[in-house]
Amino acid sequence: MKKVIVLTHEYYPYRGGIGMYCYNLFRHLPPERYKVITDQPMLEDTTSQVASLRLLSRLVRPRWRRGVRVLSRFIQEFRGELIFTPHILPLGIVANRLFQTKGIPYVISLHGLDIGLALQSKRALTIDILRSAKHIVVNSDATGRLVHALEIPTPLTTITPSLDAARLSVNGKTRAALDEHYRGNTVLLSVGRLVRRKGFELVIRALPDLLKRSPALRYCIVGSGPEEARLRSIIHELHLEKNVDIRTDVTDSELGAYYDRADLFVLPTFKIGSDVEGFGIVFLEAASFGLPIIAGDSFGEREALGSDENAILLSEVTHDAVRDAIQSLLADPRRAATLGENARRRLQTVPTWEQQAKKIESVCS
C-alpha cells in the first residue's frame, strides 16, 4: 500500500456519515501508511494521524488554490504517494491539480449526493476529475450506476459501509433515564441529520392519526441539522410537544441506549433532486438491535437492508404510506418482530469494516 494522504472536510470525531466512513476504513490500516488532513476543527484530542489545517481560502479565488499549497508542503513532509478524498468538489480539484503538476495519483470516493451536485454545477470539471483519478470508490451500487452512466474508464470499486458495533454499547445510565422518560410508551425512533429528505416531517404529521389508536405512542428524533427549527414549528402547530422529542446532543456513548429502548425504527427517506440516501448506516445500526424498520426505497437503502423480508421499504414515501406502515407494525407485533429478527440475521452477511479496509488497502496499492 502506498503512503496515503486522506484529504477530507469531515473526520472522526465529527459524526457525519462521510467522516465516519473514512475513519472506519483507514483506522484498520497500518498507521504509518496514512495521514489525515482535515479543515474540520478537532472537537477532542485525537491521534497524531490527523492534522487540522485550513484548506480553502476565505478571500482569494479560486478558494482551492490554498489547498494545493498546503497539501504540497504536507506531501513533502510525509512523503505521500497517493491522495484519497471523499469530496469531489472542491477537494477533488486540489487532488487533480497536484496530479497534473506533481504526478501524485489520487482516489475519489463518492457517496450519492456529491456526484449528483458536482455534475449539476461543474459537469465538465467533474468528469475530468473522475477520468484522471487512479480509482473511484463508491459507497453503494446505486452510486456506482451514476458513474457508469458517464462511461468513464477509470476503475471503480464498491465499498459499502459496515457496522461499528463497539460504538453502540448500551450505556446503563442513559438507558435508565430513557426507561423513566418513556415509561409505559411505545417508542418510534429516527436517527439522522435533520434534513428534509430523511422524512421526519412525514412521521410527525402521521402522529395525530396514529395517536387515536395508540395514545401511548412517542416519537424520538436523534440528530441535528438545518431542519430543526422547522420541525419544532410543526410539532408546535400540531400540539405534539408531549409526543415528540428532538435530541440534538446525543453522544456516541449514549446512542446505543436509544436504539435499545426503541420499539420501531422509522426513517422514510426519499429523493429530492440530486439529494439521495447513498446507503444508510443507521439502518445497519437499527438492525443490530433487532428493531423492525420502515425506510424509503429511493436510492441506496435497499443495499443496506437487503429485501422486503427485512424491512418495510416504501417505494412511494407519502404521509399516508408512512402512517399506514407504522400502523401495520403496531397492529401486528409478530410481523414486526419477524422483520427485526430478519434484519438482525442479515447483518451476518454484511462485510465488516476490517474486510472493507482490505479493499481500500488494495485500491491504494
**pLDDT 10s digits, 145-177:** 999 999 999 999 999 999 998 889 999 999 999
Residues 78 and 211 in one domain: no
Residues 36 and 157 in one domain: yes
- 3-state secondary structure string, 273-320? CCECCCCCHHHHHHHHCCCCEEEECCCCHHHHHCCCCCCEEECCCCHH
Give the pLDDT of residue 157: 98
Residues 80 and 221 in one domain: no
CB proximity list for 319: less than 8 A, separation 6 or greater: 202, 205, 206
For residues 202 and 268, is the Cβ–Cβ distance under 8 A?
A: yes
Predicted structure pTM score? 0.94
Q: Give tens-digit pLDDT for 224-282.
A: 999 999 999 999 999 999 999 999 999 999 999 999 999 999 999 999 988 899 999 99
Range of the domain at 95: 4-162+351-363
Residues 206 and 326 in one domain: yes
Residues 208 and 319 in one domain: yes
Residues 234 and 284 in one domain: yes
Residues 112 and 144 in one domain: yes
Residue 44 pLDDT greater than 60, yes or no? no
Residues 312 and 283 in one domain: yes
Q: Domain with 82 in it: what CATH number?
A: 3.40.50.2000
Q: How many domains does the chain have?
A: 2
Residues 107 and 157 in one domain: yes
C-alpha cell at 70: 498546503
Residues 72 and 82 in one domain: yes
Residues 171 and 120 in one domain: no
DSSP 45-71: ---TTEEE---S-SSSSSTTHHHHHHH
Residues 215 and 140 in one domain: no
